[in-house]
Amino acid sequence: MDMNQARFNMIEQQIRPWEVLDPNVLSLLSTVRREDFVPMAHKALAFVDMEIPLGAAPNQVMLAPRVQARLLQDLGVHPTDKVLEIGTGSGFMAALLGHQAHSVLSLELDAGLAAQAQANLHKAGVHNVTVRQADGSQGAPADGPFDVILLSGSVAEVPDALLQQLSIGGRLAAIVGDEPMMRVTLITRSGENSWTTTEPWDCNAPRLSAFPEPSRFKF
């Protein structure tokens, strides 16, 4: 497989049509080697428009390229930003964030995935990302506040604990809801006790582990 041609096709046929036009994001996708973050067994799928399995559990996946690209664009990461990612997976999204931000803390519940992601990042020369094996459902309050928080998977709702860890002006992105209809939710902290929310696009994704599910029982 010609990896460079496959990468070019991914950007032109999947990512641009999804309204990802930020030149900085497109440049990153051209230079950060996605294939180096894909398990060897699925290397041929590195640039395919699909979620790539990372482990035994069905929710252990690498999100589709277009989803990762648009989340990155919507967050508008700055070189001075301190970032928290929840759901490291293979480490690819953390690598993209690391190239744009000052520092990234990425939390991964699965110890094996966390170790592999840290190794992938080291091999890729990304040294401003720390991967921590931890339950990310409550964030990392001792390390905050954060300018950017990204949930790399879906949740039923965004915990208030995460919103409290945003700095003023900070942005959080998550895929929220239940199948078959989830929406990307962007939340900006506009004041000490105020947040603004938009839901710019639809996107389904596997659940992040350890996040609470609201009770469906009703009288």
Q: Identify the pLDDT of residue 213.
A: 85
Q: Identify the pLDDT of residue 217.
A: 57
Of the chain, the percentage scoring pLDDT greater than 70 comes to 97
Q: Identify the pLDDT of residue 216.
A: 63
Which parts of the chain are beta strand (E)?
Answer: 52-53, 61-62, 82-86, 103-108, 129-133, 146-155, 166-178, 181-191, 194-202
- Which tokens in the block code for residue 140? 């990392």
pTM score = 0.95
Q: Identify the pLDDT of residue 212.
A: 85
Q: Which domains does the chain have, with CATH numbers?
A: 3-202 (3.40.50.150)
Distance between CA 219 and CA 215 in Å, rounded? 12
- Which ranges of the chain have pLDDT less than 50? none
pLDDT, one tens digit per residue, over 98-138 is: 999 999 999 999 999 999 999 999 999 999 999 999 999 99
Listed as own residue / partner, the contacts of 94-97 with beta carbons closer than 8 Å and 24 or more positions apart are 94/121, 94/126, 94/129, 94/131, 95/32, 95/37, 95/120, 95/121, 95/124, 95/126, 95/129, 96/28, 96/29, 96/32, 96/68, 96/72, 97/72, 97/129, 97/148, 97/150
